[in-house]
Amino acid sequence: MSNSNKILITGGAGFIGSHVVRRFVTTYPDYQVFNLDALTYAGNLENLSDLEAFPNYTFVKGDITDSGFVEDLFIEHDFKGVIHLAAESHVDRSISDPMAFVMTNVVGTVNLLNAARRAWRNDIDKHLFYHISTDEVYGELHNPEELFLETTKYDPRSPYSASKASSDHFVRAYHNTYGMPVVISNCSNNYGPNHFPEKLIPLMIHNVLNDKPLPVYGKGENIRDWLFVEDHARAIDVIFHKGKNGETYNIGGHNEWKNIDLVKLLCKIMDEKLGREENTSEGLIQYVTDRAGHDLRYAIDATKLKKELGWVPSLQFSEGLTKTVEWYLSNTEWLNNVTSGAYKHYYEEMYDRR
């Protein structure tokens, strides 16, 4: 690898990115960690306020769709590696505004690849472009025995997953065509602290706290495979340092839950934590119109990551979910801040539509 100690993490003010930035800044004092983030509705510097005093942490506000800005940044800093998380990440938003997903997820990724290629042209093999992707690129599963493997054919079915699949293809194309050293990981659904309250788990926590209905899409039969966000950050650390050039790694929790069962478990934990009578929160569940093109089931086989790089998830789901609920209960100010101001209008509009 290059002698530079500079690492660029994109999207570090978002949910997963903030946990990755914290892990790298606190575990590797010899790295200079740069967090590039446009601070969209999903990016929040409050997520990283504990890192402000760290001398090896720098925040850069900028948009990856701005090619000139991205190129200048790569020329100014000889980044040894890039961990690319910046993205539009919410499926429901991709249904109402697909172009924002094309811009950030596809154009933004290609801008980063171009800037890296130009800046690294004399010693490209000493660098690494690590692209963070999702299991949603593989489509949906129907056979209950089946799991997504690294070799599963891509079959994206939402504008979000189509944009992520496209970005994955560009990363592989730059590896094949220009010799760009790359790794890609495709992870299942994450949960944990700092998760923006429009995704399932934090939305339900927010609504229970505010005595609002809990909107379950369709019959609540859809299945997701949930992984605690710090386990994902640890997997990213392992893959960044030990992953093989050109390889793809699936990351997942072997932890499948039907949405309705997950929401009921969450309600039970919330009732206990809030000292409410049993089944109080469950009474808030409302079945609402299903998401258009709603993928039935996602489930990851993470055997390759376990066998080749020794990574396994560390937390049981009930433990991780309890930790998550406790975090939201002690961070009500964070929750109020992200659901107020400009975001409030969007949030209420989405909520009214359900």
Question: What are the residues binding ligand TYD (CB under 6 A)?
Answer: 91, 189, 199-200, 203, 215-217, 222, 224, 259, 291
Q: Nearest approach, Cβ of 86 to ligand TYD (angstroms)?
A: 17
Q: Is 136 a residue of the active site?
A: yes
Nearer CB in complex with ligand NAD: 108/284: 108
By residue count, the chain amounts to 354
Q: Does 81 bind ligand NAD (CB under 6 A)?
A: no
SS3 349: helix
Q: Does 339 bind ligand NAD (CB under 6 A)?
A: no
Q: Does 85 bind ligand NAD (CB under 6 A)?
A: yes
Q: Nearest Cα to 253, choosing from 171, 316, 198, 342?
A: 316
Q: Does 117 bind ligand NAD (CB under 6 A)?
A: no
Q: Does 165 bind ligand NAD (CB under 6 A)?
A: no
Residue 75, token pair as written in the block: 């020329």
- Applying CB under 6 A, the site for ligand NAD has a residue count of 29
Is 189 in contact with 226 (CB distance < 8 Å)? yes
- Binding-site partner at residue 119 among ligand NAD, ligand TYD, none, CB < 5 to 8 Å by type: none
Axis-axis angle for helices 317-330, 200-209 (nearest 10)? 50
Q: Nearest Cα to 129, choosing from 72, 165, 187, 175?
A: 175
Q: Nearest approach, Cβ of 320 to ligand NAD (angstroms)?
A: 13
Q: Does 64 bind ligand NAD (CB under 6 A)?
A: yes
Q: Does 168 bind ligand NAD (CB under 6 A)?
A: no
- Triad 3, 116, 246: Cα angle to 5°: 85
The residue at minimum Cβ distance from ligand NAD is 14
Residue 317, token pair as written in the block: 């789901």
Pairing relationship of beta strands 214-217 and 223-228 according to DSSP bridges: unpaired
Residue 36, token pair as written in the block: 């590039």
Q: Nearest approach, Cβ of 66 to ligand NAD (angstroms)?
A: 8
Torsion of CA 206, 210, 212, 217, to 10 degrees: 10
- Among the listed residues 136, 150, 230, 256, the single catalytic one is 136
Q: Does 73 bind ligand NAD (CB under 6 A)?
A: no
Cβ atoms within 10 Å of 276's Cβ, excluding its own = 13
Nearer CB in complex with ligand TYD: 212/323: 212
Is 197 in contact with 346 (CB distance < 8 Å)? no
Nearer CB in complex with ligand TYD: 129/217: 217
Q: Nearest approach, Cβ of 149 to ligand NAD (angstroms)?
A: 16
Q: Is 160 a residue of the active site?
A: yes
Return the active site residues: 135-136, 160
